[in-house]
Structure 1
Amino acid sequence: MSEHQNHRKVRIGVQLQPQHAEWSDLRRAVVAAEEAGVDVAFNWDHFYPLYGEPEGKHLECWTVLAAWAEITSRVEIGALVTCNSYRNPELLADMSRTVDQISDGRLILGIGAGWFEKDYDEYGYEFGTAGSRLADLAQALPRIEKRLGRLYPAPTRKIPVLIGGGGEKKTLRMVAKHADIWHSFGDADVVERKVAILDEWCATEGRDPAQIERSVGVSGDPAATGPRLHELGVRLFTVGLGGPDYDLGQLRDWVAWRDEVNA
């Protein structure tokens, strides 16, 4: 199955989690990550920290992305991932187009169904069920695509859509239908299973699997986990870093590994 992705170069992402940090920390971190050679800088779309002190410092996703668009010049930027429930799909399309314009075509629209109940409760969104949130996402994706086609000025490019999640009956079918990038969480055995199912959904939807870049969250030594994931066709490897310090040491190891593999 890995032959689908052989034409792609390895890319390294960083998820700079906007928790326990001031804006100055996030600003410094994204500039340093770009200088270190990463390909993509992600944040996430939550209103409270996911780790550590639950009432700790936290900044909003899309306003941070707009600022990152202005203070970086090379890296792609995006949310890993935007929660579909928090914004009307047409508004999200317009926000995406605007950040695409500010960044001169460097936005990735990462999106998922949402899961963090505290966000919903505190901000007045209806939590529903996993099924209802997935159904909402399925309805939102074509609305986003339609609105992106109607906005003026238009996006600078076809904005890549990243869908995060591994649900085998619904999420992976949405990936096959709508995504340019699929982001998975899990070890190589999990990824291997999901990749096979994604290929089946691509066949059902009449989509060439080679059109979908495979992405996974990683940590630790790239030599230990990178080669097997690479064999499975993963080409975007993203290291998650929490604030306020954003230690880029491990990230630099992955950038060096990328350069070896791509040489």
Structure 2
Amino acid sequence: MTRPVRIGVQLQPQHAPDYGLIRDAVLRSEDAGVDIVFNWDHFYPLTGDPDGAHFECWTMLGAVAEQTERVELGALVTGGGYRNPDLLADMARTVDHISEGRLILGIGGGWFERDYDEYGYEFGSAGTRLDLLKENMARIAARLKKLNPQPVRDIPILIGGGGEKKTLRLVAEYADIWHSFADLDVLTHKNKVLAEHAAAVGTDESRIERSVQWPGIESAPAFLEAGVTLFTIGISGPSYSLSEVERAVRWRDEVNPEPVSGLA
């Protein structure tokens, strides 16, 4: 294992009509020892009442950045089809400064049609959305280089998705973290595809962190063996129970190597 296991929590901004419930969940997550606090970039709930309470992603990330001290934070993931890429780069740079260098810029091609239709964006096809993501990644990279002041750090880019021809090529070109939604067998196959893309663009594929949704404590060791080191537990409002998050954090602490102290 070349990097330590990390645990993220995705605080899904749905079914919490009082923002204080989310603020409290952020605080409890940092206190529980998670490494990253994610939300998501949708406009409506994905589960439960489709017209239930829901909050917007990026304004929330600014609040999370101000509220926290240690955790990294970001969207899992930003909808590439309804965010102007130059403005998104500026938003990311700003949240990076608010957090003093803790932002992860997560992005994907987008998939939830209602987000597009209700807010007046063109949904298109999976192919056109991925073509737009390719264009957007180039614009984000260019804009980040022009901003004054510059980001606090080189903002890590997380790309979510598993398309073998387009998405994994973009992961090889731009990403520091690849978030996959695949099961173990498919992930193993796609890891090989990503390695081929990385070789084609001259990228060391080992520098790209592998990320998945938490598969449960029984299955996590197999994903770790396959190269995954970032595991994220998604939890929904209004309760935001952290019981599974706490189990995952304890497992992380068991499998991570002990810190080295003193002289070798």
State the TM-score bracket (shorter-chain normalisation): over 0.9
Question: Are 1:51 and 2:47 an aligned pair?
Answer: yes
The equivalent of 1:228 in structure 2 is: 222
- The aligned runs of 1:11-30 (5 Å cut-off) are 11-21=6-16, 22-30=18-26
- 2:164 paired residue among 161, 168, 183: 168
Q: Distance in 1 between matches of 2:39 and 2:128?
A: 25
Question: Are 1:262 and 2:239 an aligned pair?
Answer: no
Question: Are 1:240 and 2:234 an aligned pair?
Answer: yes
**Range moving further from structure 2, 122-131 or 183-192:** 183-192
* Amino acid corresponding to residue 167 of structure 2 in structure 1: T
Question: Are 1:108 and 2:119 an aligned pair?
Answer: no
- 2:243 paired residue among 239, 249, 253: 249
* Amino acid corresponding to residue 203 of structure 2 in structure 1: R
* Amino acid corresponding to residue 177 of structure 1 in structure 2: E
Deviations 1:214-257 (A, max 9, x none): 0000143x1x1111101111000001101111100000010000
RMSD: 0.7
Q: Secondary structure at the match of 2:2?
A: coil
- The aligned runs of 1:209-228 (5 Å cut-off) are 209-220=205-216, 222=217, 224-228=218-222
Q: CA deviation at 1:193?
A: 1.2
Q: Secondary structure at the match of 1:111?
A: strand
The equivalent of 1:117 in structure 2 is: 113
The equivalent of 1:10 in structure 2 is: 5
Q: CA deviation at 1:177?
A: 0.5
* Amino acid corresponding to residue 33 of structure 1 in structure 2: S
The equivalent of 1:3 in structure 2 is: none
Q: Distance in 1 between matches of 2:196 and 2:171?
A: 12
Q: Secondary structure at the match of 1:48?
A: coil
Q: Distance in 1 between matches of 2:69 and 2:187?
A: 32
Q: Secondary structure at the match of 1:53?
A: coil
Deviations 1:159-185 (A, max 9, x none): 000000001111001000100000011
Q: Secondary structure at the match of 1:240?
A: strand
* Amino acid corresponding to residue 245 of structure 2 in structure 1: L
**Preserved contact between residue 219 and residue 240 of structure 1 (Cα < 8 Å):** no
Q: CA deviation at 1:87?
A: 1.5
Give unpaired runs (5+ residues) of structure 2.
258-264
**Preserved contact between residue 41 and residue 76 of structure 1 (Cα < 8 Å):** yes
Deviations 1:135-176 (A, max 9, x none): 000001011011011101110000000000001111001000
- 1:152 paired residue among 148, 153, 165: 148
**Preserved contact between residue 10 and residue 235 of structure 1 (Cα < 8 Å):** yes
Q: Secondary structure at the match of 2:146?
A: coil
- The aligned runs of 1:78-117 (5 Å cut-off) are 78-117=74-113
Q: Secondary structure at the match of 1:247?
A: coil
**Preserved contact between residue 162 and residue 182 of structure 2 (Cα < 8 Å):** no
Q: Secondary structure at the match of 2:219?
A: helix
Number of paired residues? 256
* Amino acid corresponding to residue 91 of structure 1 in structure 2: L
Q: Distance in 1 between matches of 2:27 and 2:227?
A: 29
**Preserved contact between residue 186 and residue 217 of structure 1 (Cα < 8 Å):** no
Deviations 1:181-224 (A, max 9, x none): 0001122112111111111111111110111000000143x1x1
**Preserved contact between residue 15 and residue 237 of structure 2 (Cα < 8 Å):** yes
- The aligned runs of 1:119-198 (5 Å cut-off) are 119-198=115-194
The equivalent of 1:72 in structure 2 is: 68
Q: Secondary structure at the match of 2:152?
A: coil
Q: Secondary structure at the match of 1:207?
A: coil
